[in-house]
Amino acid sequence: MLRLSQRLARSAANKRNSYKLGEDGLYRAPKAVTKWSLEKAIQAAPKVAWSASGFARGLRGWLLDNCTAVHAVEFSGYHPGGFAGSCDCLIDIGGTGPVIVDFKTTGKSLHADMEMSLINYRDQCGAYSLMLKHLTGIEAKAGAIVTARRSGEPVTTLLDREALTAAEDRFLERCERFFDELHASRALNSDS
């Protein structure tokens, strides 16, 4: 759906000569064109299975209410720190962007036991931010973890630039610790 929306917005804005390059190096269609493209893409989206319909409904509503530009969808990357991955999307939220967005789903109620998962999800956004910066030179202004639920609106955890930088640092520390332990384990096994 986001890919189609991105194509529709780009095409419509180009026809009107309103697809503009921002200071961050990313092109944007006017917000009204992006909203129109999201609505069209939602109408054209295939039906989802009943078991996933609540998640899909919540995410569609969240995107319509929050997304003001679509820059990249399901982009992959790597970082010399020793990791690679695929990010769900890079969008503007409420006119601010670019924002790294990671969509999650849960059938559970969201309360205190989700805090550990949120720490990992924040760090994952930090990893995506590092990959984006490494590969393109573009620095995300923020991150968002959007947790869809079977019923009701998604729960959004926003990371401002400061929180995203902290998540980047934590992820790099985790990678360094992992590789140190891996090398120590290999050295121990080779001595045996």
* pLDDT tens sequence across 13-22: 999 999 999 9
pLDDT digits (tens, 9 = 90+) for 99-113: 999 999 876 655 556
SS3 180: helix
Q: pLDDT higher for 107 or 171?
A: 171
Helix (H, G, I), strand (E, B) or coil at 146: strand
Helix, coil or strand: residue 14: helix
Asked whether the beta carbons of 142 and 161 are under 8 A apart, the reply is yes
To the nearest whole number, what is the mean pLDDT of the chain? 92
Domain 2-191: which topology? Lambda Exonuclease; Chain A (3.90.320)
Pair 141, 91: CB distance under 8 Å: no
Residue scoring higher pLDDT (84 or 185): 84
pLDDT at site 101: 98
Is it the case that residue 160 has pLDDT exceeding 80? yes
C-alpha distances in Å from residue 35, one per residue of 13, 43, 95: 12, 13, 12
pLDDT at site 156 = 93
Q: Is the pLDDT of residue 64 over 60?
A: yes
Q: What is the pLDDT of residue 150?
A: 87
Q: What is the mean pLDDT of residues 162-186?
A: 93
| Residue 59 to residue 45: CA distance in whole angstroms | 13
The C-alpha atoms of residue 20 and residue 14 are separated, in whole angstroms, by 9
Please give the single-letter amino acid code of residue 154. Answer: P
pLDDT at 119: 86
pTM summary value: 0.90
pLDDT for res 107: 65
Cα maximum dimension of the chain: 70
